[in-house]
Structure 1
Amino acid sequence: MSQSLSAEQLQLDANESPKLLASPLAITNSALVKNRIFKSAMSEQLGDKNFLPKPQLAHLYKVWAQGGTGLLITGNVMIDRSALGEPNNVVLDKDSEIEPFKKWAQAGTENNTQLWMQLNHPGKQSPKYLSPEPVAPSVVPLAKALQSGFNTPKALSDEEIVAIIERFAVAAARAKEAGFTGVQIHGAHGYLVSQFLSPHHNRREDKWGGSLENRMRFVREVYKAIRSKVGESFPIGIKLNSADFQKGGFSEEDSMQVMKALQDDGINLIEVSGGNYENPSMMGARVKNSTAAREAYFLDYAEKARKLLSIPLVVTGGFRSARAMESALTTQATDMVGIARPLSVDPDLSNKLIADINHKISLKPLSTGVKALDFMAMLNITWYEQQLSLIGHGKSPKPNMSAWISVLRTFASMGTTAFKKRRA
């Protein structure tokens, strides 16, 4: 149960190290995370032409493992090579060569680190140059501002839905075979699982749509299919929206009920996020001052969810200081602290946070000064992907790399593809 602590109670000695942040957490009877720092998923864009992980991906996760993070979540690995969210995605399916995944898993589990693979299907959030006819629960296009880059989807048949559920299960079983220590279902940010949950995107009238019970059937069946393949002791988590933050979409009330149902089904961990391509709240859009002061975008929601849940809960988005992280753990609003972009500019950040309660990191605003160019180059995504590429190639990240250099590198590396919408 969450509790309110005064500012005085939360004060730690200036020279004191964080206590809860450094403490272990049992996810299952056989899965112990060494500390409470959770690296949330980021798109690495390090898949090769056969959708296999490049060697740089293994090196990147080796560096993060040595950097002290307790639990690393991979960037979204697609379960179907005909349904990509972005170019250079990694895909794990029945036909994937397993050896590159084993090397990735071995590197990312060094230093007693947990490494979970995030599994995803983009649904209609697949750019038109990758998916001429994307699929979704219903024939509902993305918002008008995005329709130039994303085609109107085809509604999935019942048989196709069942086949996708099986693909999730196969990918999870193969992740376990490769040596990953858990999997996370991507159920947030407007991808396929999230589309099924949303009454705006899911307008079906069969058993997969309509009531919340029907709309959550897809994600529950995905979980159950994975569990049947990996066994009872293998950790399965989910990243779930607190809400979509759009009219007629997935609400906080819906989200709470889905979390409770998944906990009853046996899921082991829930990471809280929010938003989608049409309303990117996970990027910190329109954050209130009170939220910014606590550093975490979804902490207020997590405090409500905590009253319903007994399984580990993770809040990701906005954390920048050891002191704010320790405070969030002390109030029991969250069991782990999720960070992502800060680890792309300082892969050793977790070691520093655990060693010093006063340690914090700031991320500089990114802009060329030309908003249209920033948007076209997806600067707030590609700048960080370039940092990941540097680390993967054995180099140090460049926190002060200019926005202009990043944009030029984006266009140079992608050619005409750089001018096509990859994300919102």
Structure 2
Amino acid sequence: MASLADPLDLPSGVRLPNRIAKAALSEALGDADNAPDGRIVTLYRRWAQGGYGLLITGNVMVDRDHLGEPGNIVIEDDRALPQLTAWAKAAHDGGAAIFVQLNHPGRQSNLMEIGHTPVAPSAVALALPGATTPRALSDAEIEEIIERFAVAAEVCEDAGFDGVQIHAAHGYLVTQFLSPLTNLREDAWGGDPERRMRFLLEVVRRVRGRVSPGFAVAVKLNSADFQRGGFAEEDSRAVVAALALEDVDLIEVSGGSYEEPAMAGSAAASTRAREAYFLDYARSVRDAAGDVPIAVTGGFRSSAGMQDALTAGDCDVVGIARPTVTTTDAATVILQGRATQLTTHEIATGMRGLLGRFADLKMLDGVLNLAWNTDQLHRLAAGKEPDLDRGPLRTTLAMIRRNGRVSFTSRRGHR
């Protein structure tokens, strides 16, 4: 049986030194041109020294006109190749493999960018305060976005990264194509489960066709979006079966969206007590995945829980995200037995009685905790330690300051 310390050889030949991955956390550390700079290198150098077998970057967008948040790093071409190379080197110097998570936000673009019209498979607005109804993509625009993923992957390989991860979870554009709630199309890109998964499969195929056989192509996939009538586990299992027929190196299982942020720790207490939120689902898709390794992210906290998941064969890689913000060497801590339990920091929205009348407090708490973790990543990137005393008010103000912007100009007709 595999142990946490065992290496894992992916189908492409990329070797992970052990089975613990630092899962994606959106860093929002791009400079004014949405390029990586010394801050991201500082952050990843610290994580690279933390004993992880795999580091997966946070949201790297493929279109600078459509960002999840203003600080997102964007790869549209090789203009930032030296900075990207330095980023990859920081991980390799610590002995870790590193994948770049490629993403497009679709309708889940920055909610605080006034004047921006997002795009999506269909004109279905996000159920969050201030969300703008997106414009439905044309066939030509869909093809352009697929090509953007491929170009970005090619640049990532040139920069020395070990692979890319296509973000098909958490409510972003690929997820929007997969869900019957957000994909109302009746053309080649929607209308039934097979056509709804076409966008993801075309992205995977285009990326794989553009990079070398030794470069890893992974997918992050929702087990479900936890919304009535939405993308359900049976839909997800069908996608896993389809991905198993492609040249995919790793399928990471997660779940939720900004509307139902299970990935941000808002799962029910009974789910958290089981430790790994999505492990039952991962167990159910082992056969469908075939020889493609499975990673599970969400809720792992104890060394026993992590090892049990590997021993049972429920997954091949354990992903941890939020614990790595306050314990940057979490993998070393677990592998060396310095602790048997990892901790996370949780904050809750204030004025709950008042706000609860107008908004879903679980959703607000999820967004707030995502913002709190982003604040801490910025401190780490500046060479500082996490600020565990930062509360809801300071976090909210920092989120508004970081995300608030106004768009007046239309670029390439996308707005």
* TM-score of the aligned structures, taking structure 1 as reference length: 0.88
Query: Following superposition of structure 1 onto structure 2, how do residues 134-145 of structure 1 map, counting pairs within 5 Å?
Result: 134-143=118-127
Structure 1: distance between partners of 2:403 and 2:117: 23
Deviating more after overlay: 72-81 vs 271-280: 271-280
In 1, the alpha carbon distance for the partners of 2:325 and 2:280 equals 26
Rate the CA distance shift 1:283–1:113 in 2: closer, same or farther, 3 A.
same
* Cα deviation digits, residues 189-228 of structure 1 (max 9, x gap): 1111001111111111111111211111111100011011
Distance 1:55 1:351, change over 3 A: same
Please give the secondary structure, in 2, of the residue aligned with 1:324: helix
Identify which of 248, 262, 281 aligns with 1:281. Answer: 262
- Distance between the aligned counterparts of 1:288 and 1:312, measured in 2? 29
CA distance in structure 1 between the aligned counterparts of 2:366 and 2:214, rounded to whole angstroms: 43
Matching residue within 251, 269, 277 for 1:297: 277
| Alpha-carbon distance in structure 1 between the residues aligned to 2:245 and 2:402 | 45
Measured in 2, the distance between the counterparts of 1:417 and 1:39 equals: 31
**1:405 & 1:125 partners in 2: Cα distance?**
24
1:381 is aligned to 2:370: yes
SS in 1 for 2:307: helix
Matched, 1:74 2:84: no
Q: 1:389: how far off?
A: 1.4
2:237 is matched with: 256
Provide the rounded CA distance (Å) in 1 between the counterparts of 2:96 and 2:317.
14
How far apart in 2 are the matches of 1:271 and 1:416? 31
1:88-127 equivalences in 2 (<5 Å) = 88-94=71-77, 96-127=79-110
Aligned residues: percent identity? 47
Which residue in the other structure is 1:15 paired with?
Answer: none
CA distance in 2: counterparts of 1:127 and 1:251, whole angstroms:
26
Partners of 2:375 and 2:304 lie apart in 1 by 29
Give how far 1:361 is off.
1.8
Q: Which residue of 2 aligns with 1:308?
A: 288
Q: Structure 1: 5+ residue runs without aligned partners?
A: 4-18, 419-424
Give the aligned length.
Answer: 396
Residues 249 and 131 of structure 1: is their aligned pair in 2 closer, same or farther, counting only changes over 3 Å? farther
Deviation string for 1:326-356 (max 9, x for gaps)?
1111111111111011000011111010011
Aligned to 2:323: 342
CA drift at 1:376: 9.5
Distance 1:306 1:152 in 2: 38
Q: CA deviation at 1:281?
A: 1.7
Greater displacement, 336-345 / 119-128: 119-128
Deviation at 1:417, TM superposition (A): 5.3
Q: Of residues 175, 191, 208 in structure 2, which corresponds to 1:210?
A: 191
Q: Counterpart of 2:385?
A: 396
Q: 1:244 and 1:140, CA in 2 relative to 1: closer, same or farther beyond 3 A?
A: same
8 A contact 1:79–1:91 mirrored in 2: yes
1:44 aligns with 2:27: yes
Using the TM superposition, give the Cα deviation of residue 396 of structure 1 relative to its aligned residue in structure 2, in angstroms.
2.3
Tell me the residue number matched to 2:38. 55
Post-superposition offset of 1:270: 0.4
**Aligned match of 1:245 in 226, 233, 247?**
226
Give the letter for the 1:307 counterpart: D
Pick aligned residue for 1:269 from 239, 247, 250: 250
Q: Could you list the per-position Cα deviations for residues 173-197 of structure 1 after superposition, in whole angstroms to 9, with x for gaps in the alignment? A: 0011111110000000111100111
TM (norm. structure 2) is 0.90
Q: Specify the code of the residue in structure 1 equivalent to 2:146.
A: I
